Structure 1
Amino acid sequence: MSTATRGDSLTLKTQLTLVIVAAALIMSAAMGVRQTFGLFIGPFSFDRGMPVTLIAFAIALHNLVWGFAQPFAGAAADRHGAAPVVAFGAAVFAAGLALAAAAPSGWALVVGLGVLVGIGISCTSFGVVLTAVGRVASAEQRSLAMGIASAGGSLGQVLMVPLAQAVRLNAGISTSLLVLAFVMLLAAPLGIALDRRRSYGALTPATAPHDAATASLRDTLALATRHRGYRLLTLGFFTCGFQLAFIATHLPGYLFLCHMPIGLGATALSLIGLFNMAGSWACGWLGGRFRQQHVLGWLYLIRGAAIAAFFLLPKTTASVVLFAAVMGLTWLGTVPLTSGLVAKVFGTRHLGTLFGLCFLSHQLGSFLGAWLGGFVFDVTGSYSLIWAATAAAGVLAALLHFPIDDAVVDRAPRPVETARA
């Protein structure tokens, strides 16, 4: 290898590292701030006299808004780059938190935490940030790079909760939310680092043939909707959202009903976030060495088996900790694998839009998982049916993923046959 070639290789690695670090910091801010919302349900209810139902609706609403806004945020990043989209999203996210801090009524809280935060997080999370990493990394590095960025982004989920709690206890709800808004504003300029490919040219030695195609967004969407594998992937991602939202929302309450120690639910959620860092990296690494749909299939099987075992076996502190660890290892590892599979099949030109549509399915599942958990408990007085459905969903998702065809789609124009003389 010549000195010039070696120097170019080091430059490319440096640029990719910079993009991964920036992506991890942006997602740490966005996902970490989002993880704190449960801390404010009681204080908003007791200190400001707002109904718990309305507060919970505001928090749940941002999942739906996030899902519906994600394809548009992804399309904007595909067209204009990640930097302006991240800056806009961080500003809107911060505005939503500031509005919630000063909310004079419950409906102002709904607009702030529900609508504005939902729009903001769609611009500062997976559909924009991870897809930017996918564009910069080579096909061989893409899955691992996305996994590392996703793992780094999980750090905020571990750090932001104690920060928000400490500020709230010492200075009140409003100050705590304003501090979180400031954190989001700090993340706004980091989007500039995500557009290194635009500034320095392609960072990969060769661009995949289907990336070079000049297919329009309309043609790409039509191709994706006809692609059986893309439809199966989208349906499977619904299951992921359903499982994660149910567990994140209802695990603490379920453990309380099982007469487990007070605070064990919060500890379990923290452990999920901690082990998610290792799980996201590991899934990205595995996705670079094995077929990504097969890794996803086994991930869903393991998750479903863990849920079934946890529900059926006696509850102890050790079993809760073990369950949290296994769930953390399989928590958000689906994201780099799913986005990497979309990039492999369809290329990266419209990756933000295509992954955004998949993620809409994920968020619909999230809303349903959180809502159905409460509905089933209210109707039956037990979580048994929803636990069984959550475990069975893992098996169904695995069956959907194993047969996915990951061959690169051919988008080259077909030659027109000439009429014979």
Structure 2
Amino acid sequence: MAGKQTTHPLRPKRHHSPTSGLLYTETIIRARPTNRQLYEFLSKSIGRPPPQEWENEGEEGVSTLQDMALRCFLNHVDGFGEEHFGGDVGLMGERVWREVVKHNLQSLRLWQLFTTICKDHPPPDIDADQPPARTHKTITHHHLPLSLVIPAISSPSLVYLTSLTLIDKITDSSTSLSILSILSNLAVLHIVGSPSSTRETSMIDDDTTRLWNKQARYSNGFPRLKMLFLRFQLGVSERVFGELEHFPALEMVVTSRCGIKTKEGKKVAKEKGWKMTSKAFYAHTDTILEAHPLGRSYLDIVTTFLTSLVSSPAAPSSSPSRPTPLPPLSPSPITIPLSLIQLGRQPPSQSTNVLLDTQEIACWVKDTDESRKLAEEKRKRGVDKEERKMEGGKRVRRIKEAKRRDLLGLLEGM
């Protein structure tokens, strides 16, 4: 039953084997294959396509042919790929996407497809639906293996970036966390554990981040990871700041109910070039909770923060249609479309994902000045070490030369 998820078994049946004379019970189990779950994850939508045989009696000629082509596309979207569109999509691509939105057929695969083919035709506004919006959120309650998900959400050509949220558990967690490093377009990693988890059952711990740091150093892992969010990860202590050195693009780490002690965390973070801040995600959360005194879903707060970072190069920041910006954000803006992926589900409750106070979170950002200072000190230590090594080598050579002269003098006197 590898690679399948069990559902409801049928009634057991008793059988008799004439060859062995034994009685045995057979139970047939209906299962849904994992690839079916992956298909739903990529292609499921809430709408229904229009009847393919329907005709618009009010139009004739080319318009009727276009309507027929659109209905055909909407009824067979799974069979279309980038190769079925011309080199210049233009207005036709926008019209097709408008029909997709009109019938609520948006899916992750279609968003990826139209983001790719319309990349040279950016939307006039960050919230535009045609061509695809700059962000797209996909949630599945299935805990799909990351070995199947990663190829489906990657974009080696960086047409879009990915924000990945993992909740509570992963089907193949013992092996899959290490392969996150190969997701080259991963910009945000968000790991949410169970509120009942302990240091021993934490999804990740200091050893996990140590492995990731080695992958970033030796295998070019996590090349574009900008933000790391951790919640209910008691296995992560203040030592985590020593394991982030080789992440080339990491700008911010948010911890919530993890194993980091504030006093020790500030000390270790400063030594490693990080600092706690009341800006960035912390300021965003404070603004949200002021408007929602009874609390707000932690996942929703993270989502609004990420979408506020996504900017549209076609729309200037002074555009009157752009919503009022939230407080100043430390991480740099995201200028590439962002796909928000959530695997698993945790119903909001007072004990899980309803955030009531900013005291539950700590936001850490790179201390640029401190990082430069540490890098300079590290360089000087390296130079001093080399000089001491060279001086030690010279001293050893002088001693050997003196011993050789003494030995020659002793031999000449004999």
What band does the TM-score fall into relative to the shorter chain? Answer: under 0.3
TM-score, length basis structure 2:
0.25
- The TM-score with structure 1 as length reference comes to 0.25
Choose 1 or 2 for highest CA Rg. 2
Structure with more relative contact order (C-alpha pairs < 8 Å, separation 6 or more)? 1
Question: 1 or 2, which has the higher helix percentage?
Answer: 1
